[in-house]
Amino acid sequence: MTDTDTAIEARGLGKRFGRRNALDACSFRLPAGRICALVGPNGAGKSTLLTLAAGLARPSGGELRVLGTTPAEARREIAYVAQDKALFPQLTVADTLRLGADLNPGRWDQEAAERIVHGDGAESALDPYAKVRGLSGGQRTRVALALALGKRPALLLLDEPVSDLDPLARHQLMGTLLAEAAEHGTTVVMSSHILGELAGACDFLLLLGGGRVRMAGPADDLTAVHRLVTGPGGAAELAPHTVIESRPHGRGQSALIRPEGPVGPGWECEEPSLEDVLLAHLRNPSAPALLAPEATVRDLAGTGVQA
């Protein structure tokens, strides 16, 4: 079955390194055209998932489909920027882009690549004749992203893309990246620790923890099913709901919950931010997993199956 509206689909995906399960029975679906934040604590499996999706490693179990086919077959449509931003140190910036053009005949977009390398103005522009070896970490990141975007990928996989950029460069680069993605309908997956930065840029979220999918879905849906409640009642009053995190608040209680029906009177209710939801789940690793319908893998008949 060819499925053009799905960028990534994992069914029971597992990856084992020796005795350790980096990924364990992961099932989720990422619709095409989304900007997805891939978050989770260190060792959650974020980088492993990106390497599998890029076709650079094979799963130990389960199935991973990318752009309707196997990662290996989709290689031409995928751009992947690893955390260490692998580049050839002895090449100049211009040479590196030329290499990108040579390696991607017929689809290379020199203008898009140059936009990233030139940045916002003369001051931030990289010297095309500078050798990669002499560039700062942030400048190398820009060259690596220029290579990735110049490829005009359908799926862009970024591992910690902007962590070594200063705030201004990060903001500019993120803006350019999102604009390019919007123009070409590119699906973007980026892992990051900087939740705040991603919250505004991403419209889809995948939270991993201990190699498992803890939460997946459109950002709006994930915040909409949670409530921040504060009230004078005890924790027992919240029992009918799924309580993600609950803390004493004076004589009462403050909690992040998934309401199952109306919340009792006396509780002040507000919709949390995406960051509130994420932090609560990170602080409570035993919170039940949540897969929004859009993030749920579909069976062949096209109906949803809960993972």
Among 1, 42, 183, 301, interactor with another protein by CB under 8 A: 183
**In DSSP terms, which residues pair with 248 in a beta bridge?**
253
Cα separation, 241 vs 69, in Å, equals: 40
Of the listed pieces 72-80, 106-114, 247-255, 269-277, which binds another protein according to CB under 8 A?
Answer: 269-277
Of the listed pieces 13-21, 93-101, 198-206, 255-263, which binds another protein according to CB under 8 A?
Answer: 198-206
DSSP conformation class of 126? P
**Angle of helix 167-184 relative to helix 137-150, nearest 10 degrees?**
0
Binding mask 44-83 for another protein (x = CB under 8 A): ----------------------------------------
Residue 196 binds another protein (CB under 8 A): yes
Question: How is the chain split among helix, strand and coil, in percent rounded to 5?
Answer: 30, 30, 40
CB of 91 to another protein, least distance (A): 28
**In DSSP terms, which residues pair with 190 in a beta bridge?**
37, 158
Interaction with another protein in 16-45: which residues (CB under 8 A)?
35
CB of 263 to another protein, least distance (A): 11
Residue 125 binds another protein (CB under 8 A): no
Q: Which ranges of 30-109 would DSSP assign to H, the alpha helix? A: 46-53, 93-103
Residue 146 binds another protein (CB under 8 A): no
Among 72, 86, 179, 235, interactor with another protein by CB under 8 A: 179
Q: Please state the φ and ψ torsions of residue 159, each to the nearest 5 degrees.
A: -100, 110
Q: Which ranges of the chain would DSSP assign to H, the alpha helix? A: 46-53, 93-103, 110-118, 137-150, 167-184, 195-201, 219-224, 274-283
Of the listed pieces 64-72, 125-133, 180-188, 250-258, which binds another protein according to CB under 8 A?
Answer: 180-188
Kindly list the residues in this chain that would bind another protein in the complex (CB under 8 A). 35, 171-172, 174-176, 178-179, 181-183, 196, 199-203, 269, 271, 273
